[in-house]
Amino acid sequence: MDLNLTSKRVVVVGASRGIGLAIATLFCEEGAEVTLVARGREALDAATAALTGRGLRAHAVAADVSVEAGARAAVAEAVSLMGGLDVLVNNAGGSLGSRRFDEATGTEWSAVLDLNLMATVWASQAAVTQMKQQGGGAIVHVSSICGREYCTTSPYMTAKAGVIALGKEMAVSLARHNIRVNTVAPGSILFDGGSWDRRAQSDPARIEKMKREELPFGRFGTVTEVANAVVFLASSRASWVTGACLTVDGAQGRAL
């Protein structure tokens, strides 16, 4: 299926590795011009160089989107590099080791909410300003099944639930501007260097037990499976889909 993404201008936040890099790669392979945004310059440059080395169109913008000024500046620079913006993917996030609500400190709450929820707000506000001028666009937020199901890390769970709620409100309020907004909620995704990869190496018995008891397909999801969902929702093939939250978890959330 042709997703009609050739020459679309895309920003992927949190794109130097894992899910974000898979999303950016798939957009590039579909013919889009993509700006990768992440905090770490070394990993970001390496990821972008790997794409441009294949003849794909990619740019790198190093920014800390957990700070309002950083998020807005990243979008502005991307717009300058590409001459506009058709798609924004908000993939920044992380639990930062946060704990239950009665254990997490105020500093932990602020850090997790800023990285997961507020970064999404700030980048979206900047993107929407540009999209309104252009007559439309598409935004996809990457949340988590922790935003829909029980999770032991309260600040992260709360932030990801907020991302889902934000997507619903944005979809309604931005429809009149021809801007669609959807959310994807991945389950546990395994990739090299990711948190589940580290746990698999440090406690393989626990991971095997998890596969048997918590993952109905007996395996973790892949970054490509999440990227496929995100790129489809951002494409014109999903033109009548907005305000949705698509769970990509192999029924993990039903088994918890």
Q: Check if 156 is active-site.
A: yes
What is the spatial order of strands in the sheet that 245-248 belongs to?
A: 58-62, 33-38, 9-13, 87-90, 137-142, 179-186, 245-248
Q: How far is CA 41 from CA 45, 64, 142, 168, in A?
A: 6, 11, 22, 33
Catalytic residue among 30, 88, 124, 156: 156
Any residues with CB less than 8 A from the CB of 121 and at least 6 apart, and which?
166
- C-beta separation of 93 from 164 below 8 A: no
Active site members? 156
